[in-house]
Chain A
Amino acid sequence: MAPAPSKLYADDVSLLMVLLDTNPLFWTSSYLPFSNFLSHVLSFLNSILLLNQLNQVVVIATGYNHCDYVFDSSLATNQGSENGRMPALCYDLLQKLEEFLVKDEQLHKEGSEKGLASSLLSGSLSMALCCILFYDLDICTASLCLIFRRFFDQGHSIHNPGYVAIMNSIFSAQRSMVPIDSCYIGSNNSAFLQQASYITGGVYLKPQQLDGLFQYLSTVFATDLHSRTFLQLPKSVGVDFRASCFCHKKTIDMGYICSVCLSIFCKHHKKCSTCGSVFGQAQSDNESASNLKR
């Protein structure tokens, strides 16, 4: 018996959540100007919407002080272009993005030094997941696409308390079977994004050729989830599985681990900061409570 014909081409409808890094500090030192970056990404979003009119794109900007939705294609009213110069949706997005930046700066001025020196990934991830759950009740077509300039797990990470939160949102993405694709624009690899993609079955990509960003995005990330089952996509070898310690957010090979709640520390502590277990007093005896982990 032939399959029901209505299913013929219906498999490639996708809901794509895009998380954009708009942390101003990261873009100043970049050799890819922000406007070029936007141009590539916007073309990519257009192409997704072009492929199938049921495709949906939601964009979340992740700034320095807050994160917010800047675009949702299901809410965009009219198609067509603004003065024939660019698609209307881009215009909408850019306007929203401008407002977003203004607000972000304002927040920064109000809170002066309180701002975090890293992108608020956990927040925007949670927003994206909520949005997916909101739109995507029964069809498993959603994927998350992170496009990040730089990430805090190297170097300037000391003040970020987001590690547990990020890992938790990654795990919730895994539970809801949402693959996280990540595109990382920087010279080193980002262990976080690598882990996120690895855990959720997405693709991690670090473009070598930044002026070909659109090509990377459209070749790899525009692949709908159905097609992914029979396509080979770039696999990253040597995912950095190393954990960050809870106390200083350093990536460590070896550390102390709480035998009660499995929190990881780079130094010996008297008490677990997560669950409050007491590790024993003397240096020589504490290993009964905390073990070395590789």
Chain B
Amino acid sequence: MSTGQVTKRAKYKTSVKDPGTPGLLRMNERKLSFSPHDPASATKLDVEFIHIKGHKHTKEGSNKPPWLNLPHDQGGSYIFEFESFADLHKLHKQFVIGGVLTELEFWATRKKLLDGDSNRKLKQRVGFKSTMILDTKPMADGRTNKVTFNLTPEIKYQIFVLKPAVHRAFLNLVPNKMTEKDFFTKYFKAEYLLSSKNAVAAAAEAAEDDELAIFLKDDDILAQEARRKIRRVDPTLDMEADQGDDYTHLPDHGIFRDGSKEISESQHEQYKRTLSQDLNRQGAVVLEGRTLDMDLEDPRTVAEALVRSRQESDGDATQERLERISRMTEIEDLQAPHDHPFAPLCIKDPRDYFDAQQANALKTLDDIRSKTEQTKCNLSIDEAYGSLRDSVSKIMTMGLSDPIVKPEVALMVLNGLTQNISGTRYQLGKNPQESILDGLPKTTKDELLHHWMSIQELLRHFWSSYPITTTSLHTKVSRLKDAMSQIYRHLEEIKESVQSDFRHQVSLLVRPMHQALDAAFQHYDADQQKRSSTRIGESPNGYV
């Protein structure tokens, strides 16, 4: 955490009874801020610590969820409730402090909990600079007539992107005809001439020097593109490409770069540039985003890479950009609502599952005990079809049975259903379908749940240790096995000690746990055996 910032998921409460708003709590040395998950929620916080008068928090290991209570100088207090890991804490105490697992091993399976929040920082790419490179100003030292332009790789890159014609010229001329240095000297000479607004001088220079003329002239690639764009759009609607580029060629139109505005002879028109043109180009490039992600040191490679990326992106990128723009500019009023019906992802409480399984185990037993339904059919399939068809024709001739249902039966059914409903609503005691777990004494129930959780944890570690490749894994597995056999014995004890009324249920609950443990033991033994036999054979140290 180099920034000194702590980010935690928390619930923000204004008072003790407030159910709380879930969100992210960020704290650094100066201040704390809270942003709710629900962007529509109004409970955003941004508080400097100067306003905080003190802090209280719940004790570690207490049953209450961890709270941080920060009273502030306005008399109230900010309360944050962090995610509760009471179960985790218990497990940690049992296994890590009990020496079954090391700290590292315990947390290895929970990496997500530890760095879920800090990891979410995206690697952000540096965007295209929004300062205008066209404004790269010469520095005059004041004494001589020399002007200096400062040129960095970044600026070179920007020049290439902004001015396709210069880019093209660079590719053509460097290094065959001139050096890179000469090239940029020429470029800036042209820039200097333009910025000095001396169109006549510029024209004169351009006549003498072909290469210089390239820089002085309007960028023909851009001009072509602009024309293409203009042709493509409906001039009345699309604000993205109005004829701004074109208007500037009309006299008295547009602000000239560097503020001044002068009217000069039209034959030198091409040596002038307007601010709006530059701004538009800059804006377009910034919107396009950076297409290159590479070292900018060597301008030649940059220039070439740029050519490649342009070719790739030309087709679909413009299409995509157009779509994006049309999405942004669509008139909200006239659109159909965007929300589609969705089914929320629903993750079941594992306890629910655990419970249900036991109930089912019990039910299956009952089912077996009660008369099993006859699955064998006593008719051949042809006879079966015949009897069905008979039933259909019977009902066609006889009509529906009248009365549909005998009144007594109907009442009985309705009463039965009503009873079922009031049963599920109030969880009345004698409901046979009630969860077994809830019927047990609380201590037994808690113990069972805790053991179940421990077994889960241990088994997870156990199975993930296979195949055993290192000595440490080997020792870990044997430690785990010892811990598991301890729990196994505990479970046995619970089964013995529980009152006879519950013994059947408890044994049903315990059985799958024992089965799971047995499977682990069996695997351990088999592996151990195999290992000892191979060790005698070839590999002297056993671990490959």
What is the minimal beta-carbon distance from B98 to any residue of chain A, in angstroms? 24
Enumerate 26 A-B pairs (CB-CB under 8 Å) in ascending A order. Answer: A24-B381, A24-B388, A25-B384, A27-B388, A28-B387, A34-B387, A35-B391, A36-B401, A40-B404, A42-B400, A43-B400, A101-B385, A174-B343, A188-B367, A212-B410, A214-B410, A240-B360, A241-B353, A241-B357, A254-B515, A254-B519, A284-B526, A285-B466, A285-B467, A287-B463, A294-B512
A211, B409: Cβ atoms closer than 8 Å: yes
Q: Are A234 and B341 in contact (CB under 8 A)?
A: no
B417 touches which of A91, A214, A234 (Cβ 8 Å): A234
- Cα(A291)–Cα(B412), bound, Å: 49
B373 within 8 A of A: yes
Return the CB mask of B233-254 against A: 1 if under 8 Å, else 0.
Answer: 0000000000000000000000
Mark contacts of A179-217 with chain B using CB atoms, 8 A cut-off: 1 yes-contact digit, 0 otherwise: 000000011110000000000000000011101111110
In the complex, A140→B384 CA distance in Å?
A: 39
Contacts of B413-433 to chain A: CB distance below 8 A? 413-414, 416-417, 420-421, 424-425, 431, 433
A147–B431 Cα distance when bound, in Å, is 26
Chain A residues, CB < 8 A from B412: 209, 212
User: Which of A1-9, A11-19, A102-110, A269-277 is the contact stretch?
Assistant: A102-110
Closest to A291 in B: B463
Closest chain B CB from A278 CB (angstroms): 15
- A53: chain B residues within 8 A (beta carbon): none
- Docked CA distance A33–B390 (Å): 11
Question: Quick check: is B356 within 8 A (CB to CB) of the other chain?
Answer: yes
**Is B471 an interface residue when CB atoms closer than 8 A count as contact?**
no
**CB proximity of A195 to chain B, nearest CB, Å:** 11
Does A242 make an interface contact (CB < 8 A)? yes
Instruction: Determine if B435 is an interface residue (Cβ-Cβ < 8 Å).
Output: yes
Q: Judge whether B381 and A25 touch: CB under 8 Å.
A: yes
Indicate if the CB atoms of A29 and B526 lie closer than 8 Å. Answer: no
**Interface, chain B (partner A; CB < 8 A):** 341, 343, 348, 353, 355-357, 359-361, 363, 367, 370-379, 381-385, 387-389, 391-396, 398-401, 404-406, 409-410, 412-414, 416-417, 420-421, 424-425, 431, 433-435, 459, 463, 466-467, 512, 515-516, 519, 523, 526-527, 530
Q: Are A98 and B377 in contact (CB under 8 A)?
A: no
Whether A237 contacts B382 by the Cβ 8 Å rule is no
With A209-B413, A234-B417, A284-B530 in contact, is A24–B387 under 8 Å at CB?
Answer: yes
Taking the closest CB of chain B, its distance from the CB of A155, in whole angstroms, is 5
Is A131 an interface residue when CB atoms closer than 8 A count as contact?
no
Say yes or no: is A57 at the interface (Cβ < 8 Å to chain B).
no
Least CB distance from A218 to B in Å reads 9
Q: Whole-angstrom distance between the alpha carbons of A215 and B530 in the complex?
A: 64
A64 to B425, CA, bound (A): 40
Which chain B positions have C-beta within 8 A of A175? 343
Given A212-B406, A214-B410: 8 more A-B contacts, CB < 8 Å = A29-B378, A38-B395, A39-B404, A85-B399, A98-B393, A101-B385, A212-B410, A215-B409
The reply to whether B420 and A234 contact each other, CB–CB distance below 8 Å, is yes
Q: Are A214 and B405 in contact, with the CB atoms below 8 A?
A: yes
B16 to chain A, nearest CB (A): 33
Q: Is the CB of B373 within 8 A of A188?
A: yes
Residues of B within 8 A of A40 (CB): 404-405
Top 6 closest A-B pairs, CB basis?
A: A238-B359, A24-B384, A35-B391, A212-B413, A34-B391, A237-B433
B420 CB → nearest A CB, Å: 5
Whether the pair B417, A38 counts as a contact (CB closer than 8 A) is no
| A279-294 interface bits toward B, Cβ cutoff 8 Å, 1 = contact, 0 = none | 0000111011001101
Evaluate contact between A288 and B466: CB separation under 8 angstroms.
yes
Q: Is the CB of A94 within 8 A of B341?
A: no
Residue of B nearest to A26 (CB): B377
A199 smallest CB distance to B (angstroms): 9
Given the known interface contacts A177-B343, A237-B424, A239-B356, the answer about A29 and B377 at a Cβ–Cβ threshold of 8 Å is yes
B350's closest neighbor in chain A, by CB?
Answer: A294
Chain B contacts for A186, CB-based, 8 A: 373
| Residues A79-95 near B (CB distance < 8 A) | 85-86, 90-91, 94-95
A220, CB-defined interface residue at 8 Å: yes
Type the 1/0 row for A38-60, where 1 means its CB is closer than 8 Å to any CB of B: 11101100000000000000000
The answer to whether A253 touches B357 (Cβ under 8 A) is: yes
* A208 nearest in chain B by CB position: B416
Distance in Å: Cβ of B128 to nearest Cβ of chain A: 42
CA distance A93 to B534 in the complex (A): 72
Find the B residue at minimum CB distance from A207. B413
Check A28–B378 contact: CB distance below 8 A: yes
Given A27-B387, A186-B373, are A242 and B357 also a contact pair (CB < 8 Å)? yes
Contact between chains at B359 and A237 (CB < 8 Å): yes
* Least CB distance, A283 to chain B, in whole angstroms: 7
With contacts A105-B382, A211-B406 known, is A240 near B356, CB below 8 A? yes
Of the candidates A29, A90, A236, the one whose C-beta lies within 8 Å of that of B374 is A29
Residues of chain A within 8 A (CB-CB) of B425 are 232
A241 & B413 in contact (Cβ 8 Å cutoff): no
Nearest CB in chain A to that of B352: its residue: A241
CB within 8 A of A209: which of B387, B404, B416, B523?
B416
Q: How far is the CA of A88 from the CA of B251 in the complex (A)?
A: 85
**A140 and B405 within 8 A (CB):** no
CA distance A215 to B348 in the complex (A): 33
Asked if A156 lies at the interface with its beta carbon under 8 angstroms from chain B, I say yes
List of B residues within 8 angstroms of A141 by Cβ: none
Q: Is B395 within 8 A of A155, CB to CB? A: no
Q: Tell me which residues across on chain B come within 8 A of A219, comparing CB atoms.
A: 413-414, 417
Q: Whole-angstrom distance from the CB of A24 to the nearest CB of chain B?
A: 4
Counting chain B CB atoms within 10 Å of each CB, the highest count among A34, A207, A237 belongs to A237
A235 in contact (CB, < 8 A)? yes
Residue A22 is within 8 A (CB to CB) of chain B in the complex: yes
A262 on the B face (CB < 8 A): no
The distance in angstroms between the C-alpha atoms of A22 and B401, with both chains bound, is 20
Contact of A294 with B391 at beta-carbon distance under 8 Å, contacts A215-B414, A240-B356, A288-B466 already known:
no
Verify if A158 is at the interface (C-beta below 8 Å from B). Answer: no
What CA separation (Å) do A175 and B378 show in the bound complex? 41
The listed residue with most A CB atoms (<10 A of its CB), out of B367, B435, B467, is B467
Which one of B367, B424, B459, B515 lies within 8 Å of A235 (CB-CB)? B424
| CB under 8 Å from chain B, chain A span 149-171 | 150, 155-156
- Residue of B whose beta carbon sits closest to that of A37: B391
A28-B383, A174-B343, A186-B373 known; A98+B435 contact, CB < 8 A: no
Q: What's the minimum C-beta distance from B451 to chain A, rounded to whole angstroms?
A: 14
Select which of A95, A102, A155 is within 8 A of B375 by beta carbon. A155
Using known A-B contacts A86-B399, A212-B405, A234-B417, determine if residue A140 contacts B388 with beta carbons closer than 8 Å.
no
Q: B463 near A292 (CB under 8 angstroms)?
A: yes
